[in-house]
Amino acid sequence: MDHIVPMPEGFRFAAHNAGFRYKERDDVALVVSDVPAAGAGVFTKNLFQAAPVTVAKENLAAGKPVRAVLINAGQANACTGTQGLANCRETLALVAAGIGVAPDEILPASTGVIGPQLKMDIWRKEAPAIAAKLGQSSPLDAAKAIMTTDGFPKIAWGSVEIQGREVKLVGMAKGAGMICPNMATMLGCVLCDAEVAPGDWQEALAAAVDASFNAVTVDGDTSTNDCVLALANGASGVKIATQDELAALGAAVNEICQALAYMIVEDAEGGTKIIRIHVVGAEDNMQAETAARAVGHSPLVKTAMFGRDANWGRIVAALGRSGAEFNPDAVNLAIGGVPVFTAGQPVEGDLDSLLAPHMRRGEIAIDVDLGGGGGEYLLLASDLTYDYVKINADYRS
Amino acid sequence: MDHIVPMPEGFRFAAHNAGFRYKERDDVALVVSDVPAAGAGVFTKNLFQAAPVTVAKENLAAGKPVRAVLINAGQANACTGTQGLANCRETLALVAAGIGVAPDEILPASTGVIGPQLKMDIWRKEAPAIAAKLGQSSPLDAAKAIMTTDGFPKIAWGSVEIQGREVKLVGMAKGAGMICPNMATMLGCVLCDAEVAPGDWQEALAAAVDASFNAVTVDGDTSTNDCVLALANGASGVKIATQDELAALGAAVNEICQALAYMIVEDAEGGTKIIRIHVVGAEDNMQAETAARAVGHSPLVKTAMFGRDANWGRIVAALGRSGAEFNPDAVNLAIGGVPVFTAGQPVEGDLDSLLAPHMRRGEIAIDVDLGGGGGEYLLLASDLTYDYVKINADYRS
């Protein structure tokens, strides 16, 4: 077991190679809190919701404390109907029996190929082994077990001092670009040893997810299985009592989610750059998001960034067709801090010279001021490269 | 003329293709303040000082206000003896006559090949043309005129609100790796429209240079011509009156210098990454610097970073031979925030997985805690690549 990542108190981990899809590596992760924990979850808005999403929502809605998170990689258990739901519940029962909790105290998540039913023969055979491994694995082992097409495991940790004591957090995520419409995109799990009211914990998670995982785009697809789950177990002995303390905890959760979301964009298939699109001056935040997403999803913008070409006309064009309402004559646009379009007019001069160092960097800032209200939005996008096309074109061959 | 870069008030620029070495582009830049300005300069510590370094120092030492900076690219006027000094002074006299200032009110700087005398025939012929262009060029034009082996011009700008009014600054620099021992490394020039006492201005510049240009390394060479010059002319109407105002101005100067220094490392020959080496816990800042430089200059560390290999043993080895005094059993080392060596012991576990995203980034953080006193130092270094070797190996062919 690794001892690199500092763990929050009162959590144990198991990672196991059950063989759902991957034969050479762990493909199931179990996290158990020694004591009942506040649970929270944020789920995909895709109309097709995978069975584990439905079950996790149900278990959270029951309002009981949560004891565990169970994640398998290789099979998404999505679009699997009532059989899929029954299978999902059976996996929880199988593992619950081994670790001495109730099945509905476990939150499930799955990632992998959409359509096929879970391989229940494997689940029935391997569930005791999964439970038996509890405490023998590290958070990093768990982060590796939930990978699908990921190039590297995604894990982040941190701590925050509250009431003079240290509250620790660890988060893990999986997710790269959609390699094809059959593979799920992203999962996340955040663990924390503070005690916090479930409603507050849900709000903290939702806010952090909104500002991080929901504010990244690789190729604009949203999967049936996207979810972020979070447990807060109180094992640190710190009980969140004030709004300030809640804000401090929320900031720590946000930092974890930001780091994980950044890694997801970094791990975009074939991606070479992170495009940091910040829109201000919109009528409201929603309009700012609309404008930012039009830029971040534009293949023309994304290929230009890959090619180190500060082709700002493509950015302006994407803004114009985004549906956001603004006065074109009031728009300002800067790339890497260099103004390229001000008050709706191109900036005269040798922009390429000024932009050269910025276009070479691994992170390129695109700052848009729509010149209107106080709405703003920050989106991280990947670039679009030969390799992305190659990976996704070759997949069918 | 470009109008992209906001200019401080009361400065005019000229960029001109005199033909000292470059036939197709400007190779001399002149900056003139409309009113007498406080001058400051920080110069190379190389024992061989180029003629313009000696003359600029003399002119500053006279304690008079400064009116202009004159920089030529292509000829370093270094190791040129008394003839070189006379030539340098003649260039100032030639240009001074054209712009109506005294020769000793101009600070000279040169960059280029060491050894040959300045081509005075060209200077005598072109000086009037240089002066005549004043006000027709932009700061960016000037930044381009002082390039030698640079891949892109280096310019940074900013502003700071003091006494409710805006003080503007612009800085430019040239410098990439030493392409060979015959080419000078770095020049910088910072312009500001605040009024500030010359002693304070010198201190602000020296502090900023120490934390920026002196805290970067491409290949560890220091040229005969390195210098950073700065003028503060008061044209904004803001007169720095308090320590707080001076600190605010100093921070702005520091920011400009940091941005330019970063670009110099980015533009390192063949470089692909910036290595941000932060040493803390040293007996004093000097020892921290010694340790940081041993790491930043190590070809073994620099090639490992290029190869995305978190070979921390090479970092530890560099620290050990650096000459800095510390207890090996107290040393902590992290790469990209991931602890790899703690209390003098290797961290057990799958470091490569945790380090993978960090080694892919354009900037890699190496954090060293020597476990002793309060000394610290931050150094930016480039990696060492096939291309660096190729460029420098091919040069002799």
Amino acid at position A142, single letter: A
The answer to whether A5 contacts B351, with C-beta atoms less than 8 Å apart, is no
pLDDT of residue B178: 52
> Which residue in B44, B185, B224, B385 is the catalytic one?
B185
Distance from CA of A350 to the nearest CA of B (A): 7
Q: What share of chain B is helix, strand, coil (3-state, %, to 5)?
A: 35, 30, 35
Closest CA relative to residue A144, chosen from A169, A174, A118, A183: A174
CB pairs under 8 A between A and B: 79
Chain A contact set for B2 (CB, 8 A): 348-350
pLDDT of residue B396: 45
CB atoms within 10 A of CB B242: 10
> Which residue in A80, A91, A185, A303 is the catalytic one?
A185
CB-closest option in B140, B357, B363 to A266: B357
CB-closest option in A2, A3, A357 to B263: A357
Answer whether A3's CB lies under 8 Å from B338's CB.
Answer: no
Among the ranges given (A121-130, A241-250, A260-269), the one the predictor scored with the smallest mean pLDDT: A260-269
A165 to A198, A245, B154: CA distances (angstroms): 21, 12, 47
Helix (H) or strand (E) holding A30: strand A28-43
Answer whether B208's CB lies under 8 Å from B253's CB.
Answer: yes
CB-closest option in A4, A144, A154 to B339: A4
Answer whether A93's CB lies under 8 Å from A131's CB.
Answer: no
More confident residue, A169 or A151: A169
The answer to whether A2 contacts B338, with C-beta atoms less than 8 Å apart, is no
Task: Return phi, psi of residue B100, to 5°.
Answer: 75, 40
Residue A25 has pLDDT above 70, yes or no: yes
Answer whether B73's CB lies under 8 Å from B27's CB.
Answer: yes
Chain B contact set for A140 (CB, 8 A): 349-350, 353-354
pLDDT of residue A390: 74
Residue A260 and residue A243: Cα distance in Å, rounded? 26
Closest CA relative to residue A269, chosen from A176, A183, A182: A176
Residue B246 and residue B235: Cα distance in Å, rounded? 17
Answer whether A225's CB lies under 8 Å from A50's CB.
Answer: yes
Please check whether residue A259 touches B, CB under 8 A.
no
Please check whether residue B394 touches A, CB under 8 A.
no
Beta strands in A233-383 (DSSP E): 274-282, 332-335, 338-342, 345-346, 363-369, 375-382
Residue A57 and residue A161: Cα distance in Å, rounded? 31
Residue A239 has pLDDT above 70, yes or no: yes
Residue A373 has pLDDT above 60, yes or no: yes
Distance from CA of A264 to the nearest CA of B (A): 10
pLDDT of residue A235: 97
Residues of A (266-285) whose Cβ lies below 8 Å from B: 266-267
Chain A contact set for B263 (CB, 8 A): 357
B359 to A140, B53, B301, B302: CA distances (angstroms): 17, 40, 13, 12
The answer to whether B4 contacts A354, with C-beta atoms less than 8 Å apart, is yes
Residue A216 and residue A262: Cα distance in Å, rounded? 8
Closest CA relative to residue B111, chosen from B44, B207, B205: B44
Give the contacts of B336 (CB within 8 A, at least 6 positions apart): B310, B355, B357, B358, B359, B361, B364, B365
Answer whether B59's CB lies under 8 Å from B107's CB.
Answer: yes
Chain A contact set for B361 (CB, 8 A): 266, 362
Domains and CATH numbers, chain B: 11-266 (3.60.70.12), 274-394 (3.10.20.340)
Q: Give the pair of three-digit tokens for residue A75.
A: 């099979």
The answer to whether B348 contacts A3, with C-beta atoms less than 8 Å apart, is yes
Please check whether residue A25 touches B, CB under 8 A.
no
pLDDT of residue A180: 36
The answer to whether A2 contacts B349, with C-beta atoms less than 8 Å apart, is yes
| Angle, CA B153 vertex, CA B70 and CA B393 arms, to 5° | 100
**Complex ipTM tops 0.95:** no
The answer to whether B360 contacts A266, with C-beta atoms less than 8 Å apart, is yes
pLDDT band for A110, please (50, 70, 90 cuts). very high
Beta strands in chain B (DSSP E): 11-16, 28-43, 66-75, 106-113, 154-162, 165-174, 187-192, 216-217, 227-232, 274-282, 332-335, 338-342, 345-346, 363-369, 375-382
pLDDT of residue A181: 38
β-pair type (A28-43, A11-16): antiparallel
Mutate to test the interface with B, among A150, A152, A382 (most CBs of B within 10 A): A152
Whose tokens are 């000394």? That residue is B375
Active site residue A185: yes
Please check whether residue A31 touches B, CB under 8 A.
no
pLDDT of residue B185: 67
Residue B78 and residue B224: Cα distance in Å, rounded? 7
B269-305 per-residue burial string, b: 16 or more CB within 10 A, e: under 16: bbbbbbbbbbbbbbebeebbbbbbbbbbbbeebbbbb
Residue A140 has pLDDT above 70, yes or no: yes
Residue A183 has pLDDT above 70, yes or no: no
The answer to whether B140 contacts A266, with C-beta atoms less than 8 Å apart, is no
Residues A47-72 have pLDDT tens digits of 778 999 999 999 999 999 999 999 99
* Chain B residue closest in CA terms to A341: B4
Q: Over chain B (397 residues), what is each successive 10-residue block's mean pLDDT?
A: 82 96 93 98 84 96 96 91 96 97 97 90 97 96 92 95 97 72 70 98 95 80 81 97 97 96 86 93 95 90 90 91 92 94 90 92 96 95 82 56
Average pLDDT in chain A? 91
Whose tokens are 């999505």? That residue is A78
Distance from CA of A197 to the nearest CA of B (A): 31
Task: Return phi, psi of residue A171, to 5°.
Answer: -135, 150
